């Protein structure tokens, strides 16, 4: 009986904890933009209002713009600190090495956590969520 109660309360408390989810403190868009420029992300990425200047691989991957599902900061943080995580699903010889790793640089040793927070806040602000196109005709 005690065991059942103990398990039950453990289960509930773990659920409560989970519902808080992963949350970053609020970041600063302008600081994030400055970090984006300082770390030369524009070498491989284009984003509205920051000119793309191609690097060695001449990669031009667009960031920001219209998306049908919001970019969560979980996704954005993953893209920045673990760029190879998603690569398998869209394996592409131009954007990945022969070993299947992302060509994206790794900033984990040089970026502060605050810079990451601001960067993600800036990136997130560059996406606009739009409804997906649909052939559904509503009745009026």
Q: Does residue 24 touch ligand HEC according to CB under 6 A?
A: no
Instruction: Give the residue, chosen from 46, 50, 87, 106, that forms a contact with ligand HEC under the rule CB under 6 A.
Output: 87
Instruction: Give the residue, chosen from 24, 46, 107, 114, that forms a contact with ligand HEC under the rule CB under 6 A.
Output: 107
Instruction: Give the residue, chosen from 27, 76, 118, 124, that forms a contact with ligand HEC under the rule CB under 6 A.
Output: 76
Long-range contacts of 56-63 (CB under 8 A, 24+ apart): 57/94, 57/103, 59/94, 59/95, 59/103, 61/95, 63/123, 63/126
Q: Does residue 95 touch ligand HEC according to CB under 6 A?
A: yes
Structure tokens at 20: 């808080």
Residue 58 or 131 with smaller CB distance to ligand HEC: 58
Long-range contacts of 132-140 (CB under 8 A, 24+ apart): 132/68
**Which position has the token pair 């302008």?**
30
User: Which residues contact ligand HEC by CB under 6 A?
Assistant: 36, 39, 41, 43-45, 55, 59, 61, 63, 76, 79-80, 83, 86-87, 95, 102-105, 107, 119, 123
């Amino acid at each position: 009986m005690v065991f059942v109660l103990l398990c039950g309360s453990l289960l509930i408390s773990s659920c409560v904890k989970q519902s808080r989810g992963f949350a970053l403190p609020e970041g600063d868009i302008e600081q994030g933009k400055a970090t984006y420029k300082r770390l030369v992300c524009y070498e491989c990425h284009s984003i509205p209002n920051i000119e793309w200047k191609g690097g060695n691989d001449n990669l031009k991957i667009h960031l920001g713009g219209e998306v049908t599902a919001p970019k969560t900061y979980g996704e954005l943080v993953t893209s920045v600190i673990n760029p190879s995580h998603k690569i398998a699903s869209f394996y592409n010889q131009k954007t990945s090495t022969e070993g299947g790793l992302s060509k994206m640089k790794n900033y984990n040793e040089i970026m502060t956590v605050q810079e990451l927070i601001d960067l993600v806040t800036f990136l997130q602000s560059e996406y606009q969520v739009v409804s997906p196109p649909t052939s559904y005709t509503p009745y009026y």
